[in-house]
Amino acid sequence: MPRFLPTTRHGLVDRVIRHVLTTHTYTVIAIDGADAAEPVAFADRVAAALHDTGRSAAVVSVHDYVRPAALRMEFGRTDEMSYRTAWFDFAALRREVVDALRDHGRWLPALWDEASDRSARATIRTAPPETTIVIAGPMLSGRQLDADLTVRLDMSEAALRRGTPPEAEWTIPALLRHDRENPYTPTFFVRWDHSDRPALRVDEDSVG
C-alpha cells in the first residue's frame, strides 16, 4: 500500500540522480507537471546536480516544441481540446530528442519559438557518453516518449487555480482531463501543491 513521506526538493533531486548514476548510457528523464508546478525549474535542479557529479545533462522544455500558432490556435486561442491534442509537437520531441539521442548520440534543444512563432533555429548538439536529457512540461503521460525515469509533480485542482495566472486559467480543464484519461505509474509521484513541502509516494517496502 503506497503512502506519502514528506521530503524536500533537494531530497527529490538526490533520489532522481541516484537512479541515473547507476546507468552508463544515454538517459532520458521526464518531469511531468503543469506550468504552475514549474517543471522546468525542477529539471534545471536535476541537470545541475548531475553536472556536479561530472555527468553531462541538459533540459528540454516542452514549450520549445510547440506547433506553429496557425495549428495550435486553429479553433481559437483558448480551445481546451487544442491544448491537449495540438499545442505541443510530442512526435517531434520523440524524434528529435529521445530517438536522436539514443540512436545517433545527438539531440535538438528546441524546435519552435513560442513567443515569436518562428523556427527556433537551434543547432543540433552532440551528446557526450552518459548524457542525460531532462524533458519538462505539462501532459507528458501517454505521449510515447519512452523515458527511462519519470517524475510526476502532481497538483490538485485548487493548487492549479492558485498557481495559474488568470490568462492561462483556460488550460486547467485540459490539464485535469488529460490526467484523468492518461493514468500511469511514474518512477516518482510527488504531491506538489506546496513545492517547498513536497511529499513522495512510496511503497511500504521501499521506504528509505
pLDDT of residue 204: 60
- C-alpha–C-alpha distance, residues 191 and 198, integer Å: 6
SS3 50: helix
The values of phi and psi at residue 151, to 5°, are: -125, 125
Give domain 3-164+183-202's CATH number out of 3.20.20.210, 3.40.50.300, 2.60.120.620, 3.30.56.10: 3.40.50.300
Each domain of the chain, given as residue ranges in start order, spans 3-164+183-202
208 residues of the chain, pLDDT tens digit each: 679 999 999 999 999 999 999 999 999 999 999 999 999 999 999 999 999 999 999 999 999 999 999 999 999 999 999 999 999 999 999 999 999 999 999 999 999 999 999 999 999 999 999 999 999 999 999 999 999 999 999 999 999 999 999 999 999 999 999 999 999 999 999 999 999 999 999 876 544 4
Q: What is the DSSP letter of 58?
A: E
Distance CA 150, CA 171 (A): 22
Name the burial class of residue 206, with classes exposed (0-12), middle (13-18) and buried (19+) by CB atoms within 10 angstroms of its CB.
Answer: exposed
Q: Identify the three-state secondary structure at position 116.
A: coil
